Amino acid sequence: MALFITFEGGEGCGKSTQARALYRRVSTSSIPVILTHEPGGTPFGEQARRSLKRISNSPLSPLAELFLVAASRVQLVEEVIRPSLEANTMVICDRYTDSTLAYQGYGRGIDLDTIQAINDTATMGLSSDLVILLDIPVEIGLARKGSARQDRFEREGLAFHQRVREGYLKMAGADPGRWLVIDGALPKREIQSRIRERVDIMLRRENIK
């Protein structure tokens, strides 16, 4: 199977920009690659994404939020990610299972073991080879997003976003071999360079096998 790389981080960290940059770079080589995202990436997933992000007068239960994310993930893994990897195509995904642990676990307070069990079921145990975390202070990230057209997650208070950030850093610290933590406040080109260096090392290892 090909490399599976995921991008993670809080609001305004720049992960989507860097995921697209890596996709463009790999696309210029002879390596087949796709770029996808969560929640979404399939017709059903995009419907779930709209429900998750929509601001409504009727609050969404944290558990309902968790199961919507998981349902979207099942479709993405079965329709896009696993078939691509089996076809030896690199997969770059903007958010994956670690987002659920960060947002619904550390952020919402749902039991982490419960989320991990649901993640494992939704993905059939498929984890990424590399998690790229763009870490940035909460206040800076939210300021980047601005106040116009905020979604339901962006409108959460600072305490929620701080818990999400701390959760990401805890996960990265527990598995440093699989996580690459980069200061999201660095210049974009510097971030791209650090990502490129790590991915190139992994690609060379794959070629040796």
- Using DSSP's 3-state secondary structure scheme, residue 205 falls into helix
Pick the CATH number of 4-208 from 3.40.50.300, 3.20.20.140, 1.10.287.990, 3.40.710.10: 3.40.50.300
Taking 3-state DSSP, the helix, strand and coil percentages for the chain, each rounded to the nearest 5, stand at 55, 10, 30
What pLDDT sits at residue 56?
74
On the question of pLDDT at 1 being above 70, the answer is: no
Q: What is the pLDDT of residues 112-144, one digit of tens each?
A: 999 999 999 999 999 999 999 999 999 999 999
Q: Residue ranges per domain, the chain?
A: 4-208
Q: What is the pLDDT of residues 150-201, one digit of tens each?
A: 888 988 999 999 999 999 999 999 999 999 999 999 999 999 999 999 999 9
What pLDDT sits at residue 205?
83
User: For the chain, first and last CA: distance in Å?
Assistant: 12
**Band of pLDDT at residue 148, cut at 50, 70 and 90:** low
